[in-house]
Amino acid sequence: MARYFSQSKIDEFKECFSFNARKNQISQVEELSLIMRSLGFSPTREETTKYLEKYKNEDSIINFALFLDILHEHCQTENNEKEIMQAFQAHDKNKTGTVPGNELRQILLNLGERLTRNEVDTMFREMNFPANGPIRYESLVKYLLTPIPDY
């Protein structure tokens, strides 16, 4: 896997894997999702289920070497910032770089991996977003892609 990742990245992945994987192996979708998200990736539940089924060995587990294969495959398809920005740009007919607050709220509550009302309210409050006024989607994307502190 060194041909796909630098040694420093492999070390980072190994530290996270060793810290979060029971007995240094993954056997459940939730474990795989937690570790990948801890590393800054954003797999969907469907993706983690697919990876677990595809990569688990004869003992139905994923070791670190197989985990690196999963990360490599996932890196080939994931570019969250670009995908989200393209979605907002397609929605931004006037090319203002903004989305109305009320429309954003509906998007977050009803499309894709839906957020709860509490999550949306918290986001709006933390980012000082107006309820109905224009919101710069570039700052929203940065907020969404910033890992949550683990302290």
Looking at the fold, whether 94 and 66 belong to one and the same domain comes out as no
Q: Are residue 18 and residue 69 in the same domain, yes or no?
A: yes
24-39 pLDDT, tens digit per residue, is 999 999 999 999 999 9
Q: 92 and 63 in one domain?
A: no
Residues 69, 109 share a domain = no
Domain count, the chain: 2
Give one DSSP letter per residue of 38-103, joined into a string.
Answer: HTT----HHHHHHHHHHH--TTS-B-HHHHHHHHHHHHHH--HHHHHHHHHHHH-TT--SEEEHHH
Task: Name the nearest CA neighbour of 69 among 46, 83, 50, 44.
Answer: 50
Q: Is residue 2 part of a domain?
A: no
> Which one-letter amino acid corresponds to residue 93?
K
Residue that has been written with the tokens 């999550």 in this structure: 119
Residue of 52, 125, 135, 147 lying closest to 100 (CA atoms): 135
Q: Which of 41, 56, 77 is the last residue of a domain?
A: 77
Is the pTM higher than 0.85? The answer reads no
Average pLDDT, the chain: 87
The reply to whether 134 and 84 lie within a common domain is yes
| Domain extent for 127 | 80-145
How does pLDDT run across 71-90, given as a tens digit for each residue?
999 988 877 788 888 888 88
Same domain, 52 and 96: no
